[in-house]
Amino acid sequence: MSSGGAESDESIAARAKDGDRGAFDLLVKRHKDGIYRFIRRYVGQADDAYDVLQNCFVAAWSGLGRYDAARPFLPWLRTIALNKCRDFGRRQTVRRFVLSAFATERGEPSTELLEEQRSEDRAETERLAELDRVIAALPAFYKEPLLLTTVSGLSHQEAAALLETTPKAVEMRIYRARRKVIAALGRKGEG
């Protein structure tokens, strides 16, 4: 068994696909930091990002039977991470809706429950935390290409392939995402 330093992700993934748990652990060790950074910026909160990261690797382990070892491993893993982030976003939307409806039934203004949830966000004062929140609030349409290129280091062409669009569309979405982030940070700095 090799040390894993020079071995390709694809050959390690092939071993993991054959049931080698140690091989999969090596893939996790190699990619968890980069995938975490992507997820963290997508969901906005560290605790949530760890949960999504765990879900991502559980899904990857469970889905290894569908992995084609002739294709690059990392884009496959990034696709899983992106889908888990999208799932998380949908669950959060449903959760906010349910909390709002519950508060209305109890005769409380729904904004109180939402404000309570937001107060945790306000406790973070570091600029990076603020940037994370602004990026997390972007619509997925803008957030996904921005994170795939800036955090995961994909080219516009690689991000376009993952998002099933064109490199020019990725470029335009990134441009607009950056403008939205700058505008949001500017408004917060004025208050």
Q: What is the pLDDT along the chain (191 residues), one digit of tens a residue?
A: 444 458 999 999 999 999 999 999 999 999 999 999 999 988 888 889 999 999 999 999 999 999 988 889 999 999 999 999 988 888 877 666 666 655 555 555 555 555 655 555 444 445 667 777 888 889 999 999 988 888 777 889 989 999 999 999 999 999 999 899 888 888 755 54
pLDDT at 93: 73
Domain covering 125-191 in this structure, CATH number: 1.10.10.10
Return all residues near 33 (Cβ < 8 A) that are at least 6 apart: none
pLDDT score at 14: 92
* Number of C-beta neighbours around residue 112 at 10 A: 10
Amino acid identity at 79: T
pLDDT of residue 57: 96
pLDDT at 185: 82
What pLDDT score does 55 carry?
A: 93
Q: Which amino acid is at 52?
A: V
The pTM score is 0.61
Question: How far is the CA of 87 from the CAs of 37, 40, 70, 126, in angstroms?
Answer: 17, 14, 28, 27
Going by C-alpha positions, the residue among 38, 40, 30 that lies closest to residue 151 is 38
Task: Say which amino acid occupies 30.
Answer: R
**In the chain, alpha helices (H):** 9-17, 21-43, 46-63, 73-105, 110-123, 127-137, 140-150, 156-163, 167-190
Question: In terms of Cα–Cα distance, which of 22, 154, 21, 142 is closest to 75?
Answer: 154
**pLDDT value of position 126:** 57
- As a whole number of Å, the CA-based R_g of the chain is 19
Q: Where are the domains of the chain?
A: 125-191
